[in-house]
Amino acid sequence: MEKAKISAHQLFTLLFLFELGSALVLSLSSGAKQDAWLAILIATAGGFCLFLIYYRLYYYYPDNSPTEYMQILLGSVLGKLMAFFFILYFVYSAASVLRGFGEMLVTVAYPETPLFVINALFIVAIVYTVYKGIEVLSRTSEILFFIICLLIVSIILLTMFSKIIDINNLKPIFEEGLSPIIKTAFTDTLYFPFGQVVAFTVIFPDVTERKKVKRTGLWAIGMSGFTLSLITAMNISVLGVDQTYHSQFPLLTTIQMIELGGFLERLDIYFILFVILAGFIKISIFFYAAVLSVAHLFQLKHPSRLTYPMGIVVLWVSMAVASSITGYTQEWRNFELPYIFPLFQVILPLFLLLFASLKNRKHSR
């Protein structure tokens, strides 16, 4: 774990699967109604801008983790304080995503199983993988990338062959103009899922092909944004606007409507596989970022030893974050999205980039 190195291709698979994550199974850009697919594409362009901010910080300090260059830029005290807050963000994000995927599995597949058991099984697998290091996680992502792409393509083809798609559900385009589309893109979809890529600032120094980081990251964000837009358009064309955004899991509802040849139906297993595989990657990235950031902040020689105690912390926070799925949804909508996400995904990275630009300009002079 301490001397991990990954390739540009592995970075692509990690980024792609991370971006899909929970965004694939939930409804995105609901404020844009039938133009949600377009709002996602606009948010993808904003995601490119956020990635370039994160990449520029990496460009200035390619050998340092965020917790290290924060101290270089802001001094020891203020830098350590900001690094500590970022660690809290990574831990909270891992716990929040874990809670979300646990609630999905309990709702869809295991209604009689306690949420704690689902979350505990999830975190055990994640802790073991992160303990083995980013190299093991990245190799796993290459396998899961193939499986998830196969699942996505098969679902799209089965939906088309089932003849349940009605393109008229996507009309009229621009019914209320561009304003609600742009507002939804930059106040909602930009932060979830594209702004969450800030967790990869911890992983960038592990990439061996440094010159390919920028191109690889942009390709991964572009491909994931296109995939999310395509799936959203498919959901709306099958279910209609109202049913799409009143459904708890619109992709699941779409899958349940597939019927081919009178025997191929009730393919709920597709959705469950999405939840388990995509959730595993997303939580693992946030958890890895938290573990490595703690190790760098406190200058620990063996970060892997932190995985087990921090796994317990993430599990506890995932259970304590809300008392029910309704409370969890309100917490996410009323606290994380409007306050936590903009602060750690946009405001603080821009603040750091400003300091880095000024400092490097002085050095160049």
Question: In this structure, are residues 134 and 206 in contact, taking their beta carbons and an 8 Å threshold?
Answer: yes
Q: What's the confidence (pLDDT) of residue 321?
A: 87
Q: What's the confidence (pLDDT) of residue 264?
A: 73
Distance CA 155, CA 152 (A): 5
Q: What's the confidence (pLDDT) of residue 26?
A: 85
Question: In this structure, are residues 322 and 331 in contact, taking their beta carbons and an 8 Å threshold?
Answer: yes
Distance CA 23, CA 232 (A): 10
**Which of the pair, 173 or 265, is modelled with greater confidence?**
173
Does the pLDDT of residue 365 top 60, yes or no? no
Angstrom CA distances, 251 to 110, 268, 332, stand at: 18, 10, 20
Distance CA 349, CA 69 (A): 12
Q: What's the confidence (pLDDT) of residue 261?
A: 72
Distance CA 73, CA 83 (A): 12
> Per-residue confidence at 3, pLDDT binned at 50, 70, 90?
low
Q: Identify the weakest region by mean pLDDT among 34-38, 102-106, 337-341, 358-362.
A: 358-362
Does the pLDDT of residue 296 top 60, yes or no? yes
- The domains of the chain, with CATH numbers, are 8-354 (1.20.1740.10)
Tell me the mean pLDDT in the region 299-323.
Answer: 91
Mean pLDDT score of the chain: 91
Tell me the mean pLDDT in the region 38-66.
Answer: 95
**φ/ψ of residue 176, rounded to 5:** -110, 20
Distance CA 236, CA 245 (A): 9
Residue 259's SS3 state is strand
Question: In this structure, are residues 284 and 198 in contact, taking their beta carbons and an 8 Å threshold?
Answer: no
Per-residue DSSP letter, 207: B
Q: What's the confidence (pLDDT) of residue 272?
A: 87
- Measure the CA angle with vertex 311, ends 310 and 312; round to 5°: 90
Instruction: Give the burial string for 55-79 (b: 16+ CB within 10 Å, else e).
Output: bebbebbeebbbbbbbbebbeeeeb
- Say which residue the tokens 């996505």 belong to: 152
Q: Which of 119-123, 253-257, 259-263, 334-338 has the highest mean pLDDT?
A: 119-123
Q: What pTM did the predictor assign?
A: 0.95
Distance CA 27, CA 249 (A): 7
Does the pLDDT of residue 2 top 60, yes or no? no
Does the pLDDT of residue 343 top 80, yes or no? yes
Sign, Cα dihedral of 69, 216, 183, 98:
negative
Question: In this structure, are residues 307 and 283 in contact, taking their beta carbons and an 8 Å threshold?
Answer: no
Distance CA 243, CA 108 (A): 18
pLDDT digits (tens, 9 = 90+) for 117-166: 999 999 999 999 999 999 999 999 999 999 999 999 999 999 998 889 99
Does the pLDDT of residue 364 top 70, yes or no? no
- Say which residue the tokens 């990449």 belong to: 55
Q: What's the confidence (pLDDT) of residue 163?
A: 87
